Amino acid sequence: MLGSFSSEWVKLRRRAVLLWGLGGGLLFTVLITVFTIERAVKTIVPGEHSHGFRITVAQLSQADGLVHGFVDASTLIGIVALCLFAGATASEYSQRTLSNLLVRQPRRSELLTGKYLALALFIGVAVVLAIVVASAFAFALAPGKGVDTSAWTSSTGLNDLGQSLLHVYLACLGYGILGTALAVILRSPGVAIALGVAWVIPAEAIITAIWSNGDRWLPGQLLSALAHGGTSDASYSHSLVLLVIYAAVAAAGTLALFARRDV
């Protein structure tokens, strides 16, 4: 497994992977952080047309104010993770490189697990990089909007920062399992990514609009709830338990298919 992990890192150092894998999440996080702070208002007047979500300066000045943009960007960071895992795994089929890999590492479960762990570490670096850079932007922009940042560096603020980082990272690992499963099933990066993104964003939104309990059961909704540390529809513990079950089933099925299918 160590060989597979180490081998995957050679591929992850490609310029395009660094650009999209690290830069994608970073870009979304910074944009949403900047957008959140710039649109902060003193008070929200009831009935005022708000053109989307708005937050007050007072809310931003609280301990968790620093991570608002980061958490709101979590679905987009998750989509980047899904694309990364699906692309890296399915391209081994589409580029026909999988045969070479399996000759050097015939223990297929070790090959796939090592690859997943390498990608998991990579996306962890991407998440940390995103929060660090977005935080720098937040600290730079906050005084201009009258946001008091002193609570952000309090112990509560740092605790919120750490928890948000963990929640978003766990959600990314979930998106990664979804991407890997789709890649092994479909064996085409384009199809796996398209289907994954289509499921997580429009398909689940439509299903949730029809089925009111969808928020509590659909994987994309649960991943979003997990990243937010729980929502009014799905608590953190409910989301985590269900996602662990979903992930275990998906991982077992993916490993079984990967191990048994002819290459």
Partner 1 sequence: MTTSTTPSDAVSPAVVTHGLSKRYGERLAVDGLEMELPRGVVSGFVGPNGAGKTTTIRMLLGLVAPSSGSATVLGQSTRNPAAYLARVGALVESPAFYPTLSGRRNLQVLSRLGRLDEQRIDEVLAQAELTDRAGDLVRSYSLGMRQRLGVAAALLPEPELVILDEPANGLDPAGIREMRTLLRGLSDRGVTVFVSSHQLSEIEAICDHLVMIHQGRAVFQGEVNDLLTAQHSDLVAIPEHAGDLAKLAALCNDQGKPARVDGDTVRVQAPGDWAAELNRQSMAAGITLRGLQSTRASLEEAFFAVTEGEQQ
Which CB atom, from 45 or from 103, has the smaller least distance to partner 1?
103
The Cα–Cα gap between 97 and 171 comes to: 29
Among residues 59, 105, 113, 149, the one that binds partner 1 under rule CB under 8 A:
105
Spell out a b/e string for 63-99, using b for 16 or more CB atoms within 10 Å of the CB, else e: bbbbbbbbbbbbbbbbbbbbbbbbbbbbbbbbeeebe
Contact residue for partner 1 among 57, 102, 201, 251 (CB under 8 A): 102
Residues 36-95 that bind partner 1 (CB under 8 A): 95
User: In the chain, what is the greatest distance between 2 CA atoms, to the nearest angstrom?
Assistant: 65
Distance (Å, whole) CA 27 – CA 16: 15
Residue with tokens 């384009």: 190
- Which tokens belong to 175? 């998106």
Quick note: the x/- pattern for partner 1 over 194-233, rule CB under 8 A, is ----------------------------------------
The CB density around residue 249, as the number of other CB atoms within 10 Å, is: 12
> For partner 1, what does the binding mask look like between residues 108 and 147, x meaning CB under 8 A?
---x------------------------------------
Q: Is 107 in the site for partner 1 (CB under 8 A)?
A: yes
Closer Cβ to partner 1, 106 or 144, answer by number: 106
Beta carbons within 10 angstroms of residue 162's beta carbon = 12
Cα 63 from Cα 162, distance rounded (Å):
12
Which residue number, 46 or 106, has a Cβ lying nearer to partner 1?
106
Q: What part of residues 14-33 is at the interface with partner 1 (CB under 8 A)?
A: 14-16
Residue with Cβ nearer partner 1 (11 or 145): 11
Q: Does 100 bind partner 1 (CB under 8 A)?
A: yes
Q: What CA–CA distance (Å, rounded) separates 133 from 150?
A: 18
11 binds partner 1 (CB under 8 A): yes
Strand partners, 56: 41
Structure-token match 């993770």, residue found: 81
Single out the residue of 42, 44, 48, 97 in contact with partner 1 (rule: CB under 8 A). Answer: 97
Q: Which is nearer to partner 1, 39 or 107 (CB)?
A: 107
Q: Which is nearer to partner 1, 6 or 154 (CB)?
A: 6
Residue 263 in contact with partner 1, rule: CB under 8 A: yes
Pairwise CA distance, residues 167 & 201, whole Å: 19
- Which amino acid type is present at position 174? G
Binding site for partner 1 (CB under 8 A): 2-4, 6-7, 10-11, 14-16, 95-97, 99-107, 111, 260, 262-263
